[in-house]
Amino acid sequence: MRSSIVLKAVFVSVLCVAVNGKVFNWCELAKKLKISGLDGYRGYSLPNWICMSFYESRFNTRVVNRNMDKSRDYGIFQINSCWWCNDGKTPRSKNACNVPCSLPLSLLGLLDDDITDDIQCAKHVVRDPNGMKAW
């Protein structure tokens, strides 16, 4: 009985850490995006990426927004669940980035403080014919 309570407490603690996400400051995000190869990627400069992520999420990795078509946008780049990620809620999700949008599908979704998967998906999005206009 006691071990089950401890196990539940540990599980809840892990979920809280994953859900908390992170709000980057401008310099910290710029450095992460540059190291990840986004500066100049597909013709989009670092300021393009910084500006887009600011207006989409205010540099906040845990933002989720609902759209009129019942899809949702997730994370720092507001990746859409209809086209790019799977949230388990959006019917007929294409999941082109092959990534979970959020919990409970994975502890490594687009809402955690590790934006590596977000960056990989954003690169996939701009390879689409719409490029940055997808946002």
Annotated catalytic, 56?
yes
Tokens of 92: 């007929």
d(CA 52, CA 49) in angstroms, rounded, equals 5
Q: 117-121: long-range contacts at Cβ-Cβ below 8 A with a sequence spacing of 24 or more?
A: 118/61, 118/75, 118/76, 118/77, 118/79, 119/32, 119/33, 119/36, 119/38, 121/77, 121/79, 121/84, 121/85, 121/97
Query: Looking at 56, 112, 117, 118, which residue is catalytic?
Result: 56
Catalytic residue among 28, 69, 73, 117: 73
* Residues marked as catalytic: 56, 73
